[in-house]
């Protein structure tokens, strides 16, 4: 039976997000702007990345401490060679108490990998897609990647019987004019579209509050076209607020960490590709577990680090966000996933 591990605000540990690489084939302006992550940027050397066996050891330890959901992230996780092998290793933790194993991807390589991921035991996939208009999408991913290839990746996931959620980061003046078109495209498809307020993650994306389109405004745009009604969360601490179309054509979600912070229900711990644990998406630094894995400390030392880290956790950045927090250094989202 998993041990109950709670932090200083009595929040349990339930979710683990595992970054398997800090590399990405997109240069989305809100995440990995080309001006910073250009040709000369030094990504982590391969030797610094946790091996799949090391990742599984950390995951197993944290499942024993209450983690029920694991999400594989990046960077772009499908850039990590032979990722389905890791999925298979993590899927085996269902016997230890893991309930949900998911992956977030930009969809560029999903056609190639969807069936192998499903066969390995992946249960769901989330695809980032910020517009259906090619010009808008190309400007946001900043590498000219076409929408059609992402949609083909989504179709491949469906063929592999992987449920799909689609995430759209909304920025004022960039893609806010695409909100209704996105909703119309995914209504009635069985694929849940989630709108995400543009967040001040990392220190390189030039975030300004003026660029945020509040969740209330997004919902207002949708309500003008289709009546909505709220529905209950799937589980305590779910970050997306759920809304159902009254005509029965599915649901949408909004993630409003800027205007409606949900720190009080946050149950997430993040593991970076080089083996550092982060207790908040907006943290400045992480806690190393790779050294424990490679210096002979093993699972016992990893468990001790995790216990100590979570029990003293008091993060609630989004609730405290103010003029005084703007410009504070944060780990880049591309380094630890969303």
**Domains of the chain: which residue ranges?**
15-336
At 204, is the pLDDT very low, low, confident or very high (cuts 50, 70, 90)?
Answer: low
d(CA 282, CA 316): 9
> What is the structure's pLDDT at 329?
59
Contact between 207 and 200 (Cβ < 8 Å)? yes
d(CA 63, CA 41): 35
Which helix (H) or strand (E) covers residue 134, if one does? helix 134-141
Buried/exposed code over 23-58 (b: 16+ C-beta within 10 A; e: otherwise): bbbbbbbbbbbeeebeeeeebeeeeebbebebbbbb
Task: Kindly report the pTM of this predicted structure.
Answer: 0.93
Mean pLDDT of 43-59: 96
**Domain 15-336 CATH (choose: 3.40.50.620, 3.20.20.70, 3.40.630.40, 3.40.50.170):** 3.20.20.70
The residues, any chain, with a CB within 8 Å of residue 302's CB and separated by 6 or more, are: 57, 58, 61, 289, 292, 293
**Left (φ > 0), alpha (ψ -120 to 50) or beta: where does 2 sit?**
beta
Phi, psi of 318 (to 5 degrees): -65, -30
Cα within 13 Å of Cα(153), Cβ side: 24
At 131, is the pLDDT very low, low, confident or very high (cuts 50, 70, 90)?
Answer: very high
- pLDDT, one tens digit per residue, over 237-275 is 788 999 999 999 999 999 998 888 778 889 999 999 999
Q: Is the pLDDT reported for residue 205 higher than 90?
A: no
Which pair of structure tokens corresponds to residue 83?
């990722």
Cα within 13 Å of Cα(100), Cβ side: 17
Mean pLDDT of 123-138: 97
Instruction: Write out the DSSP string of 144-198.
Output: ---HHHHHHHHHHHHHTT--EEEEEEEBTTTTGGGHHHHHHHHTTTT-EEEEEE-
- pLDDT, one tens digit per residue, over 135-160 is 999 999 999 999 999 999 999 999 99
Q: Is the pLDDT reported for residue 325 higher than 60?
A: no
Phi, psi of 33 (to 5 degrees): -55, 135
What residues are paired with 157 via a beta bridge? none
Average the pLDDT over each of 149-158, 227-236, 327-336 and give the range with the smallest value. 327-336
Cα Rg of the chain, angstroms:
19
d(CA 50, CA 67): 19
Which helix (H) or strand (E) covers residue 52, if one does? helix 52-63
């Amino acid at each position: 039976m998993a041990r109950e591990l709670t932090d200083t605000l009595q929040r349990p540990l339930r979710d683990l997000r595992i970054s398997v690489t800090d590399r990405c084939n997109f240069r989305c302006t809100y995440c990995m702007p080309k001006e910073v992550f250009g040709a000369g940027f030094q990504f982590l050397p391969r030797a610094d990345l946790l091996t799949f066996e090391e990742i599984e050891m950390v995951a197993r330890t944290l499942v024993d401490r209450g983690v029920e959901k694991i999400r594989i992230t990046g960077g772009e996780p499908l850039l990590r060679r032979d990722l389905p092998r890791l999925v298979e290793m993590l899927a085996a933790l269902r016997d230890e108490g893991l309930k949900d194993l998911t992956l977030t991807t930009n969809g560029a390589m999903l056609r190639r990998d969807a069936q192998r991921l499903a066969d390995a035991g992946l249960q769901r996939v989330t695809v980032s897609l910020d517009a259906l208009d090619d010009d808008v999408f190309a400007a946001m991913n900043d590498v000219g990647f076409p929408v059609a290839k992402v949609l083909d990746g989504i179709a491949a996931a469906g063929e592999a019987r992987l449920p799909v959620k689609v995430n759209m980061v909304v920025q004022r003046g960039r893609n806010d004019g695409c909100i209704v078109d996105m909703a119309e495209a995914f209504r009635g498809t069985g694929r849940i579209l989630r709108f995400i307020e543009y967040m001040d993650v990392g220190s390189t994306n030039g975030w300004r509050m003026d660029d945020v389109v509040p969740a209330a405004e997004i919902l207002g745009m949708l309500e003008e076209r289709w009546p909505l009604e709220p529905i209950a969360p799937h589980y305590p601490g779910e970050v997306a607020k759920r809304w159902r179309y009254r005509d029965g054509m599915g649901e949408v979600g909004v993630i409003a960490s800027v205007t409606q912070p949900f720190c009080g229900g946050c149950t997430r711990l993040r593991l970076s590709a080089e083996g550092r644990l982060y207790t908040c998406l907006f943290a400045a630094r992480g806690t190393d577990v790779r050294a424990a894995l490679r210096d002979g400390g093993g699972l016992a030392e990893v468990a001790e680090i995790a216990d100590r880290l979570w029990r003293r956790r008091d993060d609630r950045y989004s609730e405290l966000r103010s003029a005084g927090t703007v410009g504070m250094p944060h780990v880049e989202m591309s380094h630890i996933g969303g």
